[in-house]
Structures are given as C-alpha cells and as structure tokens.
Chains A and B, each alone.
Chain A
C-alpha cells in the first residue's frame, strides 16, 4: 500500500511538472512578446493554448543529427543526465502538509529524507555533467566553449548557493525540508529572517539554471547555441525541457526554503476542515512557485547579459563574501539568542 501511494505521488508530480513546463514555455513566449510589443504565438488553439503540443510534435518528427566525429554514446547520454537530474530534485520537495484521504494519512512529499538540502545540493552539482559532456562529445568548438563556460559558472555559484543555505539550516536546526517549512509558521518566513541569504541564493539560482542575465553557456551571438549547438530533434527537446524543469525546481526550492513553502498565513483562523486547509496549502505553494517563475521570465526579458569576466567577478567577489558575512551574522545572532 505504501509503495502504491508513493507511485501515485510520483506519477502526479511528474505529470504536473512536465505539463506546467510545457505551458511555461508558452507563457515565456507570450510575456516576451508583450514586453517587446508583439503578439506572440496565438494561432494554435484558443490564445495559442495548444502551441506546446504542436511544438512537441515538431520536435519528435525532426531528424536526429549526430556529427560524424562525435562520441555517439556520450552524445546520447548527456541530455538524459540533464533531464534526469532536473526531475529527480523534485523528489524531496514538500508541496503540502499531511492530507487525510480515503482513510490514509498521506504526506505530500515524495521522499522524506533527513538530508533533504544536501540531496538538492548534490543533484545540482551533478547537473554540470549533462552540459559539460554534451559540449565535449559534440566535437565542435562552439559546443565545447559553451560546456566549459557552464561548468566554470556552475562550480563558482554552487559555493555561494550552499553557503546561503547554511543560514537557513542554522535557524531551523535541521537538514529536513519539512522541518524547515514547519519552522516558517505564520509570518516567520526565512526571507524576512535571512534577506541577504535570500538575495545571494536567488542570484545563484539564476546562474545555476543558466538563465539570463547569466546565460553565458548558450550566449547565442557568440556561441551559436552553446553546448546544445550540435543537437537536434528530441535530444534538443530534452535539453529544452531540462532548462525549464530546472527553473521550476529552482522556484520550488526558493519557495520551500525562503518563502514558507506550503504555509499560508491565517488559513487556520478561517475555521475550514482539515482537507480543505491542506488543499489551500498546496494551492498556496503552487501560487508562490508560479510568481517566482513569472519573476524569472520578466528578468530574462528586462536585463542584458553580463560579460564573462563580470559574471565570475560577481560570483567570487560579491556573492561569496556576502554569503559568508550572512553566515557569520546569523551565527552571532543565534549564539546571543536574539531571535
């Protein structure tokens, strides 16, 4: 029975994740169009709502081209690593409190492990492989440059990311993600307790997901397409999917760690039944994640791209010292019991 419940949770989460990724692509194109004073895709279905399906059909029908000198096996493996890592991170994210359905007390989280945050950090550090290996195995200058840039970038920003999380871990006193969410009851959200940590974490998330203003690995004007220049058809589609899935995962992590996760303030004072409170909390979680994704999209179409040396300077000379200062300040406050 336990296994069955877990399987159902996995299927639902994957289905929601992949569907929302398809529609985030559409949302991004419509928002970009609005910002640039265009209309955007609105032909397939009402307001373009069937456009993601059309895109998928197009990608599946395309020919899969592999460069002659490429390393075929690693060329095939790289997109699988990318998408696998992007989806696996969602396993530890709590998207709701417990819910009692059909006589079962179900925890709305796929895997409740006591090293939740370390698991997320380990998976994000593995994401580098997909990008690096695709760049190397394509045997093309542009791909290799994109792959190298991205590995350097991801290694640099992982440090700031990990260090900003330590402040939150110190406040909650646990690496368990559901304990961290439970500690943020009412308005004790970590964004208010850890504003500097929040900023460094969000900036590092932009760099880790390779989004503008930090999308150096795939800077089109310089690198043609970056690490996925030599990919086509469904394998390119997997990279595309992985990029957007990473964005959703990053938003979900930010929500869980800094924005109170599934906590909705004042929901208990409304006098609703337990099941409806749980459903409102899940919807609250989805709402916060949606707002963050909108933030990601608007930033992409508002800010210009950084130069490569600027990117490295920000990572090592601004973000890292800020994260360390935040860590020391948090330690001092906890030691003196001011909170």
Chain B
C-alpha cells in the first residue's frame, strides 16, 4: 500500500460521509456546506488522478460559483426547517426508492465487474491528459462540434434568463 492509495481511501471516505450528512441535515445551509466538502473531496480525487485542470474547475465552478448561488437563494428565501417543505404526496417516495435501488444495483454490478479484472500499469502518457494544454487542444479540434453546440445551449439559457427578468418591468 503506497501513500497515494491510503490518501485516496481517506478522501473517498470523507466524500461519502459528507454526502450522507448532506442528505440527512435538517438545516439547508448545513446541507450546502457538506456538499461543498464533498466537492472538495472530489477535486482531491481528480488531483490524485493527475487531472489538475478538472480538479481546479471543480472548485472554481461548483464550489466557487454554483454553491454560492445555492447559499444565496437559501438565505434569500430564509428556508428554515425542512419539515415545512415536506411533500405530502407518497408516490414520489416510491419512485425515488426505485431509482435509488436501481442505481445501487448498477454500482454493485460495476464494482463486481472491475474487481474481477486485472490491474493495468500506470501509463506515463496518462498524466499528460489532465493538463490544460491537452484539454484545450482536443476541445478545439476533436470535440469542436459538441463544444459549439454546448455554447449555443448556454447562450439560449442566458437569453431565457434575460427575458424572464425583463418581464417585470412591462
């Protein structure tokens, strides 16, 4: 067991614990905080995999921008106790339970399959893939079309937000 693997298990355990706490906390602000801890753990896992760019983007976009907006909305609406927000309908619980069960089976199967396989060796070129230069080059050559389509979708969302926000003034 080398240091990297021990470190991985520590971070992975922390990620799972924070994810469980995120769901079980009654206070929405605490849920947000545990989700941020979870995102940080994921970023560290990416770093262990030599994917520096994805790690920093994980923090920059998810922890730094999206979660700030979550926190902002929760504070603005002053969401207190979760019990007031509880859903009355029961069929949603059943659908959620089925979906969660399916995901669990899928993960169990995936882990079972990967345990049966053999360990590959670490390819030195793999570290290259995580760098900014590599991601930039493949994003603007190989994956140019999906990239442009994504930017169009984002543009449509932005226009939609502006239209919704402008409505008030008419």
Contacts and interface: CB of A to CB of B under 8 A. Distances in A.
Interface stretch (A60-68, A110-118, A330-338): A110-118
B131 interface: yes
A210 interface: no
A136 B77 CA distance: 12
Given A122-B63, A129-B71, 8 more contacts: A115-B132, A122-B64, A125-B64, A128-B68, A133-B71, A136-B71, A136-B75, A148-B75
A129 B65 CA distance: 10
Interface in A96-151: 113-115, 118-119, 121-122, 125-126, 128-129, 132-133, 136, 144, 147-148, 151
A280 B53 CA distance: 34
A132 B68 CA distance: 9
Given A115-B56, A121-B60, A126-B63, A132 B75 contact: yes
B132 A114 contact: yes
B76 interface: yes
B52 A151 contact: no
Contacts of B33: 74, 133
Contacts of A192: none
Interface residues on B, range: 20 to 34
Interface residues on A, range: 20 to 34
A160 to B, nearest CB: 14
B52 A115 contact: yes
A175 interface: yes
Interface string B32-67: 010010000000000000001100110110011100
Contacts of B63: 122, 125-126
A308 to B, nearest CB: 16
Interface in B53-101: 53, 56-57, 59-60, 63-65, 68-69, 71-72, 75-76
A118 B55 CA distance: 10
At the interface, is chain B mostly helix, strand, loop or mixed?
helix
Contacts of B72: 132, 148, 151-152
B129 interface: no
Given A114-B52, A119-B56, A148 B76 contact: yes
B71 A118 contact: no
A71 B33 CA distance: 13
B68 A155 contact: yes
Central interface residue in A115, A122, A144, by most chain B CB within 10 Å: A122
Nearest to B29: A136
A147 B29 CA distance: 14
